[in-house]
Each structure stands twice: as structure tokens, then as C-alpha cells.
Amino acid sequence: MALVTNDFATPAELTDAFAGRILGILQHAIVEKGSATLVVSGGRTPQPLFAKLAEADIDWSKVTITLADDRWVPVTDDASNDKLVREHLLVKKAAAATFITLKHDFVDAADAVPACEAALADITLPFDVLILGMGEDGHTASLFPCSEQIAAGLDLNSQKKYIAVQPTTAPHQRMSLTLPALLASKNIFLHLTGQSKKDVVLDALQANEIDKPIKAVLDRATVNLMWAP
Ligand SMILES: O=C(O)[C@H](O)[C@@H](O)[C@H](O)[C@H](O)COP(=O)(O)O
């Protein structure tokens, strides 16, 4: 499919423009169908974007927000994406949004997959907005190339929306949307800063095989790269 590159001079300019893009899509979805869905990723990159979105004056009560993935840690743990979203996105005006957590009360993430599937059952796919991040290893969401679960996570025939992942190059068990679930999105954004990550994306585009999970998304969807140095 296609990579649409949107380069910005600074992360601040990226944040402002990206927030505007997202809010426009959400607002259109609310007007068109009375609701909107936003899937966000965790990590460090999205925090300024979350702060910008949280201040926006749209009808957040019509928006459902969930995570592309989470670390299998208590939601009080600083590594938790659930905590990140609750502290930086579900505040101010965006506090009125509905949030679907991935973190259920199971010791092992694998035991929580049915609960995650059930929690998402009432959401009509495709998602309106999906925001992906990426690691230097080309992982996206928690589809890690190092994990034993990567083939299952990238299986386009999977009927599952979630998969429990045990990366070997990153801490914590993870819960992640599967590739087919990620691709069930009307607008897919890849939110990156720094030249090295951009180079990973450009190399993945040129690669002949899917050696990096991000390529599985790039090959099958129109991805809007939102990038700043
Ligand atoms: O749980 C996570 O860590 C994310 O969902 C993951 O996919 C993230 O987007 C990348 O690892 C980039 O993270 P940074 O923005 O911190 O570089």
C-alpha cells in the first residue's frame, strides 16, 4: 500500500498539526455516525500529543479510546500505558471520553485475552483513528520481532483481536492488538521522532521480506507517517 510522509521541522509543530488531523477525523466521525474510536500507543513519543488532545473542545463523550498495546504491569506502575493515558489523555476536556483498558486482573496476559476480546466486543470496527509508534527494532504496538508470538500476531487469518506477547528484548509481558485488528482502522498514523526511526521505516519499505513487524502494516495499509527530527 502507501506511506504518506508528513515531515515537520520540530516535535512541537508535529504535535500541533497531528492533533488537528486527529481531532478533525474524530469530529467528522461524531457528526457522521454519532461516535468515534481512537486507538493510541504508549511509550514516550505520544505524551505531548496526548496533552494537546486533552485540551481540545470536541464532544469527547462520543469518543471511545483504547490502547494498541500495554505492558502487563499494574496500572499504577510507571511502565503502564494505561497509566500514561489516564494521566495525560483522559484529563481536562478529554476526561469525558470512554476508555477501554487492556489490563485485566490476571497474573498472565494470556489468561486475559478473552476479557480483552469481550471488552472490545461492543466497538464497531474499523477504528476511526489508529496511532502507532515504533521501536528501533521495527516493533509496533507490542508485535515484537524477537517474540515467539510474532507469527501469530502477524497472522492475517487470525480471528483474534488481541495476543499476549513475551518479548525477549523488552521488559514485561505485553497485551497487543493483532495485525488484523490494527489494520481494521480507517486512518492509520505512525508517530515518530528522530532520523534513525525514519530510516527503519524507509528500509522496511524497501525490504523484500517482512523482517520487521512495521513492514506488515506498511505493506497492507495506507500509513500516514507523522515525523519530526
Ligand atoms: O507500549 C509501547 O511501548 C508502545 O506501544 C510501543 O509500540 C511504542 O510505540 C514504541 O516502543 C515506541 O516507544 P517510544 O515512543 O517510547 O520510542
Note the pLDDT tens digit of each residue in 164-180.
999 999 999 999 999 99
153 lines ligand 1 (CB under 6 A): no
Q: What is the pLDDT of residue 92?
A: 98
Across 81-89, average pLDDT: 98
Residue 187, all three cell numbers: 486512518
Check residue 215 and give its pLDDT.
97
Range of the domain at 11: 2-228
Q: Residue 159 corresponds to which cell in the numbers above? A: 480471528
Using 50, 70 and 90 to split pLDDT, how confident is the model at 209?
confident
**Region 122-142: what's the mean pLDDT?**
97
Q: Is the CB of 217 under 6 A from ligand 1?
A: no
Distance 183 CA to ligand 1 centre (A): 18
> How is 25-92 classified by DSSP, letter by letter?
HHHHHHHHHS-EEEEE--SSTTHHHHHHHHT--S-GGGEEEEESEEESS-TTSTT-HHHHHHHHTSSG
Indicate the DSSP class of residue 13: H
| 132 Cα nearest atom in ligand 1 | 9
Torsion sign, CA atoms 175, 92, 44, 7:
positive
pLDDT-derived band at 11, boundaries 50, 70, 90:
very high
Over residues 195-207, the pLDDT tens digits come to 999 999 999 999 9
- CATH at 132: 3.40.50.1360
| Distance between CA atoms of residues 9 and 120, nearest Å | 37
3-state helix, strand, coil in the chain (%, to 5): 40, 25, 40
User: Ligand 1: which of 15, 39, 49, 69 to mutate, most ligand atoms within 8 Å of CB?
Assistant: 69
Q: Which of 134, 189, 223 to mutate to test the pocket of ligand 1 (most atoms within 8 A of CB)?
A: 134
Can you give the C-alpha Rg of the chain in angstroms?
A: 16
Domain count, the chain: 1
**Ligand 1 touching residue 42 (CB < 6 A):** yes
pLDDT of residue 210 exceeding 90, the answer is no
- Mean pLDDT for the chain overall: 97
pLDDT of residue 211: 85
Residue 135 gets the label, from left (phi > 0), alpha (psi -120 to 50) or beta, of beta
Q: Please tell me if the CB atom of residue 141 comes closer than 6 angstroms to any atom of ligand 1.
A: yes
**Residue for grid cell 492533533:** 19
CA–CA gap between residue 103 and residue 73 (Å, rounded): 8
**pLDDT for residue 113:** 98
- The stretch 65-89 carries a mean pLDDT of 98
Cα 226 to averaged position of ligand 1 atoms, centre (Å): 15
Instruction: Please compute the mean of the pLDDT values over residues 92-103 and round it to a whole number.
Output: 98
Q: Is the pLDDT score of 1 beyond 90?
A: no
DSSP code, position 140 = B
pTM here is 0.98
Residue 43 Cα: closest atom of ligand 1? 16
Whether 225 has a pLDDT exceeding 80, the answer reads yes
Q: From the CB of 196, is ligand 1 less than 6 Å away?
A: no
| Dist CA 67 CA 57 (whole Å) | 22
Across the range 86-90, mean pLDDT stands at 98
> What pLDDT is attached to residue 217?
98
Question: pLDDT value at position 100?
Answer: 98
pLDDT given at position 172: 96
- Residue 54 pLDDT greater than 80, yes or no: yes
